[in-house]
Structure 1
Amino acid sequence: MKKALLLVLTGMAISVATSVWAEEGKIVGNADAGKTKSATCTACHGADGNSTNPEWPKLAAQHANYIIKQLTNFKNDERTNATMAPMAKPLSEQDMADLAAYFSSQSLKPGEADQTQVALGEQVYKGGNNASGVAACAACHGPNGAGNPASNFPSLHGQQTTYIKNQLNAFRKGERANDAGKMMRNIAAKMTDAEINAVAEYIAGLKQ
């Protein structure tokens, strides 16, 4: 009887341990494999993740989990883009993890800001606009734009100005809707064109 009970308990322990492992298991990305797989990404994002076209984001040094989330959203049509959707559709979870591991390991090349707009940009980025209810960008993305990987808030510093403007406008219009709790849509909806342009310029010039 004792032996049978011991076997049952042992089996339960193994089952629980396996279940916990499965729940906590996470696909680990391989940067070397990601470099090979990134060949189709280079035309827009650059070989090292530093895009030269201001329409496309820099991926270098971006948080790996954020890259995976965006690729997953494109794959599942939770974020729409005519170029990215067909690129993401065939990707497996391992492919996404590998690409994220590669691009997140690359060095970000600094951007340049229009100095005539950084004063307003800094004001909104760091302090928001109390009168209109615009929250400070720094609250989620950090004072130097490094983001918050634990909360999956992306790194912004040095990002392309045009790309930032386009995304803020997309959030404001509701054309982009993959933000948790409508956080970005609610903030962007209250921003003026001048604030969006100035914040984008300020972000481009931020350095970690």
Structure 2
Amino acid sequence: MKLLASLLTAAVLAAPVFSAFAAGDAPKVAKPDLVKGEASYTAVCAACHGADGNSAIAVNPTLAQQHPEYLVKQLQEFKSGKRNNAVMKGFATMLTDEDMKNIAYWVASKPAKAGFAKDKDLVTLGERIYRGGIADRNIAACAGCHSPNGAGIPAQYPRLSGQHADYTVAQLNTFRDGSRANSQQMTQVAAKLNDKEIKAVADYIAGLR
């Protein structure tokens, strides 16, 4: 009995030591460095995307409040060439994965400014496509992936709310003609939209909030 008690006591005493060792062995994921992120963003990105991620140039996307995982993915795909853009490839090539993460999390922490729809004649059509799709042509509602208010779904689908209509039109066109090929889902959707529908949904997105 004494021997059994001694063995049980030894096992109990050893358990916390083993657990602590196992926990200490777990890989640590580095947190993004927002100070470095701001410095890198200011040096590389601010001229085109605005000092706080709110682009003042309609053909360049607003990045503020965008999901950081999505931004990292896009930068990696610009760098690898999976997303074809000569200008962005040049900038992305300068960045390490750590730089991308720091930049993405810093700009995601900045509030996005509200946008506005401009074309009253198309806004109703844009809303109908965004919220309900076009059933007879098997076009899914944008809201299904990007949410009713354009907030998107972190790591999967980008935030669209308030995005410049000119930029959204350009991206839908590149998905449609195949020059942007890093989302099969968006390629399939855009292929079914005509110019008027693309313009309408892009303008509606600009006013989402």
**Interval of TM-score (by shorter of Structure 1 and Structure 2):** 0.7 to 0.9
Q: Which residue among 39, 48, 51 is the counterpart of 1:36?
A: 39
Q: Deviations over 1:68-87 (max 9, x none)?
A: 00001011111111210010
Partner of residue 133, structure 1: 138
User: 1:110-133, CA deviations, whole angstroms, 9 ceiling, x for partnerless residues?
Assistant: 111122211000000000001111
For residue 26 of structure 1, report the CA deviation from its aligned partner: 3.7
Q: Say if 2:174 is the partner of 1:170.
A: yes
1:31/1:105 contact within 8 Å kept: no
Same amino acid, percent of matched pairs = 44
Give, in angstroms, the shift of residue 37 of structure 1.
Answer: 0.7
Code of the residue aligned with 2:140 in structure 1: it is A
Q: Which runs of 5+ in 1 are unaligned?
A: 1-9
Q: CA, structure 1 residues 98+74, in 2 after alignment: closer, same or farther (shift >3 Å)?
A: same
- Does residue 119 of structure 1 match 2:124? yes
Q: Which residue of 1 aligns with 2:195?
A: 193
How far did 1:98 drift?
0.6
Matching residue's letter, 2:151: A
Q: Deviations over 1:9-60 (max 9, x none)?
A: x99x968984xx34xx544212221111112211100000011111100000
33-42 or 118-127, which moves further after superposition? Answer: 33-42
The two structures, once aligned, show a CA RMSD in angstroms of 2.1
The alpha-carbon deviation at position 152 of structure 1 amounts to 1.6
SS of corresponding position for 1:117: helix
Corresponding residue of 2:9? none
SS at match of 2:136: coil
Contact 1:110 1:158 in 2 (8 A): yes
* Aligned twin of 1:3: none
* SS of corresponding position for 1:116: helix
2:98 is the counterpart of 1:57: no
CA contact (8 A) 1:111 1:204 kept: yes
Tell me, yes or no, if the aligned pair for 1:27 and 1:93 is still in contact at 8 Å. Answer: no
When Rg is computed on C-alpha atoms for both structures, the one with the higher figure is 2
In structure 2, list runs of 5 or more residues that go unmatched: 1-16
- CA deviation profile, 1:111-158 (whole Å, cap 9, x unmatched): 111222110000000000011111100000000000000x52000000
**Matched residue, 1:160:** 164
**CA deviation digits over 1:87-127, x for unaligned, max 9?**
00121111011101110000101111122211000000000
- Please, what TM-score do these two structures have when normalized by structure 1? 0.86
Q: Per the alignment, in what secondary structure is the counterpart of residue 79 of structure 1?
A: coil
Q: Which amino acid aligns with 1:30?
A: D
Alignment correspondent of 1:99: 103
C-alpha separation between the residues in 2 aligned to 1:174 and 1:57? Answer: 20
* TM-score normalized by the length of structure 2: 0.86
Which residue does 2:205 correspond to in 1?
Answer: 203
Secondary structure, counterpart of 1:131 in structure 2: helix
